[in-house]
Structures are given as structure tokens and as C-alpha cells.
Amino acid sequence: MKNVNNNALTFEQRIEAQKTIDQRKSTLSRYGTVLLFFGPYLFFFCLFFVYPIIQGVINSFYSYNFGNPDRIFVGWQNYHDIIIGNADIATYKTYFDEGLLHTLYFVLLTVPFLIVVPFILALLLNQKPWGESFFRALFFLPNVLSVSTVCILFRYVFNPERGLIKGFNFESDLASAWFVLVIVTVWWTVGNNMVIMNAGLKQVDKSLYEAASIDGCSPFKQIFYVTLPQIGNQILVCTITTFIASFNVYGQVDLITNGGPNEQTMVFIQRVLQLIHTSSLRSGTAGIASAMCVLFALLIVAISLIQLYVTRDKSNSHRRIFKKQHAYVKEGAK
């Protein structure tokens, strides 16, 4: 009898073991398929994004140059020279301040247009005019062009002597230089935000506009009390991504004005590259450049977080106001 019980227990254990093996095979099969498709992306993401970030932060605490393997640990000295400055070496702080100032100026000039203009275009396309698909593709088309193609095109368009549009000497006049940079950037990138906002508008419930109309809202007020709150998430995504992209501006400035006139449009990335390639400064410029990039990245993250908090708070406020108005309309209907 004892042997029978042992055999019975052994059989049950075999069943449990087989179930465990089957579960492991199922898990391996499921996650193995995921890793098969996601693994290459994860590998290159870590190789070209995560690793450079970690290495850049480490390098910011050293004094070294590219091509020279010898590195000297200087701690926070690089950050001190950038933020506070050094009596003997004032160039680093100047490079950082001027590059950041010109970049902020570019952001303030371009971001409002890159949010308002796509929103207006999305509203017009949402009215389903004749040739809606054609105009959507037309507005989005510049977004697929490379920055070099766009800049070469606009250098011919705004050429002071032979261009289609004369009167904007972007090589010697500062106002003309900023004007051309803004026009190029808006024309080139407006389509991406327009498509995102247009997709959001198509998801808005039409009954909300009917309720707002009954409540006496004009079409203009409906934009503020219905449309904007309903596509708040799309606007938030567009705003944050546009801010980050504008802070990382380099190509159009380098190819159109080359930082001119008199380095008054030289943005942050240009300043960092200029610092790396300048031989008149003391050794250790690669470490200084890494520290500048770390500070710049922290600034972008901080602005994005503040913007996320403020935008979400306003969006929720608009939603609460509209819900109260909608409830008031329903009460009146009863």
C-alpha cells in the first residue's frame, strides 16, 4: 500500500512538473517573440542613446581633449567655470550664456507659430473642405524633406540679389536673419503638429458643440470652451515636442546664417561645436563641452516638466468649466 501511495505521489508530481515546463515554454515563447522584434531596437537605443548620455555625464567631471587619452578628474570645476565663471578664463561662461540666450530667443520666436498655425490649419481641415486629403498632404509634405534641402531652397528664395523675395539680407541684417529662420522652421515643420491636432479634432464628440450652441456659445467661444479642452492632450504633446525640437535647433541656423551676422544668431549647439574646435582655449575643452550639454539637457527637462504641469492644470480647469456649463444646459432642458 505504501508503494502505491508513493507511485501516486510521483505521478502527481510529474503532472505538476509538466505544467511548470509548459508554462515556462509558453512564457519563453511569448516573451521570446517580443524580444525578437524589440531586442534590436533596445540594443541600438542603449548603444546610441543611453550609453552616450551616461558617458557624457561622466566626461563632464574630467578635463580632457578628443584624441588625448589622458584625463584629469576635476570634479565640479567644469560646472563652476560655466555657471559662475573664472577670472582667468571667462570664455566658457560667455559661450554658454550667449548660446543659451540665442537658443531661447529662437524658441520664443518659433514655438508660438508652430502651435497656433497648425491649430488653425487643423480647424480648417476639420471643416472637410473640397480637397481635404490633398491639402493635408500638401501641408505635411515639407516635413519629409531634409534640413539641407529646405535651407538650400530658402537661401535661393531669400537671396538678396537673385531671390524670389528680396529685401531680406539675412547675412548682414539681424532682423532679417531671425525672420528667415522663423519662416523656414515654420514652413518645414508645421505639418507634423497639424496632423496630430487634426486627428484629435476628429475624435471630439459633435454633441458637445450642439450643447455649447444651445448654451449660447458663439463659434469663436466654442473653440476655447469645447475644442481646446477636448484636444488638450494633443496640444500638450505638440507643445512639449516642439519645445524640445526648437531647443535642439542647429541645421537651419548653420546652413542659412552660419551664426551670423557677427555671431548674433549662433545657437547653443553651434557654440559647443565652436568650443570643441577652438584651439586658442586651454586644454580640457571636451570636458567643458560635456558639462555644457548636461546643463542644457537638465534645463530642457525642467522646462518640459513645468510646461507639463501648467498645461495639464489649465486643461483640467477648462474641462471642469465646460462640464458645469453642460450640466446647466441639461438642467434648463428639463
What integer is the mean pLDDT of 281-288? 72
Give a yes or no: residue 329 inside a domain.
yes
Place of cell 516638466: 305
Looking at the structure, tell me whether residues 179 and 257 fall in a common domain. yes
Question: 245 near 107, Cβ under 8 Å?
Answer: no
- When divided into structural domains, the chain yields a total of 2
Give a yes or no: residue 169 inside a domain.
yes
DSSP-derived secondary structure letter, 84:
T
* pLDDT at residue 6, as a whole number: 45
**Domain ranges, residue 14:** 2-45
Looking at the structure, tell me whether residues 197 and 109 fall in a common domain. yes
* pLDDT at residue 2, as a whole number: 44
Give a yes or no: residue 308 inside a domain.
yes
Query: The domain spanning residue 130 has which CATH number?
Result: 1.10.3720.10
3-state secondary structure of 265: coil
Q: What is the pLDDT of residues 55-101, one digit of tens each?
A: 999 989 998 877 666 788 988 988 988 888 775 555 788 889 999 99
Q: What is the pLDDT of residues 224-283, one digit of tens each?
A: 888 888 898 899 899 999 999 999 999 999 999 999 888 899 999 999 888 877 654 456
* pLDDT at residue 5, as a whole number: 45
Q: Return the C-alpha cell found at 172.
A: 548682414
Give a yes or no: residue 20 inside a domain.
yes
Looking at the structure, tell me whether residues 176 and 267 fall in a common domain. yes
**307: nearest Cα among 222, 224, 246:** 246
Question: CA-to-CA distance for 207 and 209, rounded, in angstroms?
Answer: 5
Q: What is the pLDDT of residues 100-119, one digit of tens each?
A: 999 999 999 999 999 999 99
